[in-house]
Structure 1
Amino acid sequence: MTTSTPADLAARARTLLDLHTAADILVLPNVWDVVSAQVVAATPGVRALATASHSIASTFGYPDGEQIPLDLHLDMVGRIVRATPLPVSMDFEAGYGNAGETARRAIEIGVVGGNLEDALRPLDQAVRAVEAVMAAGREAGIEFVLNARTDVALRAPEGQPRADVIEEVVQRGRAFLEAGAPVVFVPGLVDREEIRDVAGSLGHNRLTVISVPGVSLDARELQALGVARVSTGPFTQRVALTALQDAAADLVAGGALPAGTRPLN
């Protein structure tokens, strides 16, 4: 287990921030507990970790959407932070009613970056939440790496013109950048041309997206389009659970566990 000093925390925050502007796209397969964090951290090429709130909630039997108690959520994230020397970013959903205070508590356990959903709140409210998180980072003496999320593309009503959706994505994204967030997260953005347009409007290495199985572009293509970061949200946990269910089905059908199974724990 690792412990943090203020200097360590500041250094990890700076490392995470620099990874967003490096030549290579930052790829973050999201983790949800200590063993998933250790396995991902030990994978060659992994340079930072990000938690998935949906996956952590599922681990404890809660639905997504801030249904897991914040104390329990933070306890798991703290365990992940202590299990690795890599920078850790926490998905703290829409901020649990007080984005600045939630960010402060996350920083106290060693978190140096985070996702914050706008939940389609009025733009002025969403901007104030971004400002509160960035203020919490400054008060702690670190360059907190806020991945300011807008759900405009994810929750666009059926039939809404995509040009209008992208226009609002860019409007919100620019407002979050002006409020101090270094990057903007746009789930629901998977089309190549839309990604190119949003990345171009926000600026090189300012956009982050999520990789959706069977739908998304690969990381090399995203990098070429100017994307700073790609994460996986709950999908890495679903990959693991799919493998578990498939192995269980094979076993109860009279087969055996996969021969290539590795001792990763």
Structure 2
Amino acid sequence: MFNSRPIQMNSQSEKADLLKKLHHSGKMLVLPNIWDAAGAVLLENLGYPAVATASAAIARAHGYEDGERIPFDFLLGIVAQIVKAVSVPVTVDIEAGYAADNELLKSNIRRLIAAGVAGINIEDSDVRTRELLPVDEQVEKLKVIGRVAERENTRLFINARTDVFLLNPELPEDQKLALAIERGRAYVEAGADGIYPIFATEEGTLKMLVNALKVPINVIAKTNAPDLDILQRLGVARVSFGPNVHRATLLSMEALLKDVKDNLSHKPVTDLLM
């Protein structure tokens, strides 16, 4: 389903170009989001052709809650370690940009590009109010990001997330779909390379999004989402896991260490190393 042999790339632009090609290869790009360099190396060694981070996973792994509460400088240091640890493209979840205005957004994007980041996720809701931003405001942010990449003489894959489905669970499905298509089209026109309608899970909805937007669609792997083979048939280009790999890892660790405590034995851990 996905390329099992990563292609070696050196420059940030080469990696951004490869990331874009992976979205248009006809093989769904599967990205189990990680939170540190060790996880990135693990994915590369397993043959994943790109690495993605999850904002919530990075934040919680380092003692912060999600919602841009981790300092951007700290986040950037972690991202730089991840980029240096692997040769494949790295795409970073930057929430809403960690910026109160577009001048700071420009600076943050320049710093991410300098760190070697090949792509970003950026969402269209306010991390404080948990409300959707006006479409024109998000469009301007996407244009700003595109202009920064152009001035840096490089490329950056922009995965524009819309939170229509996440923040409006009470709306009928057809209304959420219409809003997501409206926003998605505006974001594509503003320079987005892909659209991420997070929490959209119904097969009919996903098929209509694929057909209406004509750019790579990203779906999050969650309990009620179709499995990967079905998403591939629907034309979905990218599947990411958000914070779910981190959550699953902690649950597995909890069970393992409970076994150590309850049975007074190191074997639940050490047997795995044999």
Relative to the length of structure 2, the TM-score reads 0.88
1:113 aligns with 2:119: yes
- Runs of 4+ aligned structure 1 residues displaced above 6 Å come to none
Summarize deviations over 1:222-241 as a string: whole Å, max 9, x none. 12111111101101111211
Name the SS for the 1:153 alignment partner.
helix
Structure 1 partner of 2:5: none
Structure 2 partner of 1:140: 152
Taking only aligned residues, the RMSD between alpha carbons, in angstroms, comes to: 1.7
Q: How does 1:1-265 map to 2 (within 5 A)?
A: 8-44=11-47, 46-97=48-99, 98=102, 99-119=105-125, 120-158=132-170, 160-203=171-214, 205-212=215-222, 214-254=223-263, 256-257=267-268, 261-262=272-273
| Distance across 2 between alignment mates of 1:148 and 1:251 | 44
Relative to the length of structure 1, the TM-score reads 0.91
| Distance across 1 between alignment mates of 2:32 and 2:243 | 9
Summarize deviations over 1:129-169 as a string: whole Å, max 9, x none. 111111122122222100001101111052x2221111000
User: Shift of residue 261 of structure 1?
Assistant: 2.5
Name the SS for the 2:117 alignment partner.
coil
User: Shift of residue 59 of structure 1?
Assistant: 1.3
The answer to whether the 8 Å contact 2:11/2:116 transfers is no
The answer to whether the 8 Å contact 1:92/1:102 transfers is no
Tell me the number of residue pairs that the alignment of Structure 1 and Structure 2 aligns. 254
| Distance across 1 between alignment mates of 2:273 and 2:90 | 25
Identity over the aligned pairs, expressed in percent? 35
Summarize deviations over 1:156-203 as a string: whole Å, max 9, x none. 052x22211110000000111111111001111111111111111112
User: Shift of residue 260 of structure 1?
Assistant: 6.4
Name the SS for the 1:252 alignment partner.
helix
| Distance across 2 between alignment mates of 1:259 and 1:25 | 36
